[in-house]
Amino acid sequence: MRRAVSQRYRRCIASALAALWLVAALAGCGRQDDVVELKMAHALSATHPVHRAMLYMAERLEHHSGGTMRLEVYAGGQLGSERELIELLQIGSIAMTKVSTSPLEGFVPEMKIFNVPYLFRDEAHYYAVLDSEIGEQLLLAPQRVRLRGLGWYDAGSRSFYTVTKPIEAPGDLAGLKIRVQESQAALQMVTSFGAAPTPIAFGEIYTALQQGVVDGAENNPPSYYLSGHYEVAKYYTLDEHTTVPDILLISQYVWERLEPEQREWLQQAVDESVAYQRELWREETEVALAAVEAAGARVIRPDKEAFAGQVNGIHALFDGTAVGELIERIRAFH
């Protein structure tokens, strides 16, 4: 009898422990010896400024929390593509990620705003908008889908690169197959340049370029360089058609389980990392352009006005929508 009771007791303890483990695993947020561990994953390489800024965030978080909170960062898409990472966050199996706002459009349609070409007057306008109430509203919009934006990382401006022929003027894009992010607005943008958009996950672009699945792609200088895409697509045309930021997201599920002071420490670490990443971005953009040129890629500086003229009509597609309204607000923002 006693044996049966103690067996039942042990089974009971074992299943309670299993349940606890499951909750911790589900939360992407384990607790060991009173240390909260947050799992964070992203798609870029470990040499990317974005990754380095995250390591800095981890350092700051340990500092602010007196070692009671830790951030584990997984790079290179090892836990999934950006779209998959967003979904993993929604169910709480990873605590945090950094994605481009493009794949987030499928979940939060307002994010399409960043794929509207030539929206920002210059870098200062772009930063001011992100740091304003507009940026704050966009950070909080993902709450509808169980995600919470904590900050923006700079991802510069995106420009086209091609394998076989250089793009000197917008007309050169006609009929070319161009890889785009998983974003409807990016599809529209590339279509309005007269090219044929093909959505492909970031980790598969290199092979797609190499095997001729696409004729080109588009990205910012650090990503063009650090992904090695310049090795296969040697023509880089700095037309800077869009300025699509990266967003730092936390699972709402995990956020709700943090104590108020833990949220504060985390937000402080994020803010410091955001400031650090902006500095790093400037340097790394220069480094990337110099490095790809030194490696034999051709960097073309075209007449940007001509490119902007070609896609002017795209703004009208958003008339009467939330994105159309945002376009007006951003244009009027000083």
Residues of this chain that interact with ligand GCU (CB under 6 A) are 43-44, 82, 99-100, 155, 181, 202, 219-220, 223, 246
Q: CB of 201: closest distance to ligand GCU in angstroms?
A: 7
CA separation for the pair 242, 319 (Å, rounded) = 19
Alpha helices in the chain (DSSP H): 2-26, 49-64, 82-90, 101-104, 123-130, 133-140, 184-192, 205-210, 221-226, 229-232, 252-256, 260-294, 304-310, 322-332
Please, which residue, 115 or 219, has the CB nearer to ligand GCU?
Answer: 219
CA separation for the pair 60, 71 (Å, rounded) = 10
Please, which residue, 64 or 156, has the CB nearer to ligand GCU?
Answer: 156
CA separation for the pair 180, 26 (Å, rounded) = 32
Q: CB of 202: closest distance to ligand GCU in angstroms?
A: 4
CA separation for the pair 295, 152 (Å, rounded) = 31
Please, which residue, 82 or 239, has the CB nearer to ligand GCU?
Answer: 82
Q: CB of 319: closest distance to ligand GCU in angstroms?
A: 28
Alpha-carbon distances of 202 from 9, 103, 247, 284, 299, rounded to whole Å = 50, 11, 16, 19, 22
Q: CB of 280: closest distance to ligand GCU in angstroms?
A: 13
Please, which residue, 192 or 220, has the CB nearer to ligand GCU?
Answer: 220
Q: Which residue shows structure tokens 């500086």?
A: 301
Please, which residue, 36 or 44, has the CB nearer to ligand GCU?
Answer: 44
Residue number closest to ligand GCU, CB atom: 223
Q: CB of 167: closest distance to ligand GCU in angstroms?
A: 17
Q: CB of 284: closest distance to ligand GCU in angstroms?
A: 12
Nearest partner of 96 among 69, 63, 131, judged by Cα = 69
Partnered with residue 246 across adjacent β-strands are 100, 153
Please, which residue, 45 or 268, has the CB nearer to ligand GCU?
Answer: 45
Q: Which residue shows structure tokens 């949220």?
A: 263
End-to-end, the C-alpha distance of the chain in Å comes to: 79
Please, which residue, 53 or 330, has the CB nearer to ligand GCU?
Answer: 53
Q: CB of 329: closest distance to ligand GCU in angstroms?
A: 24
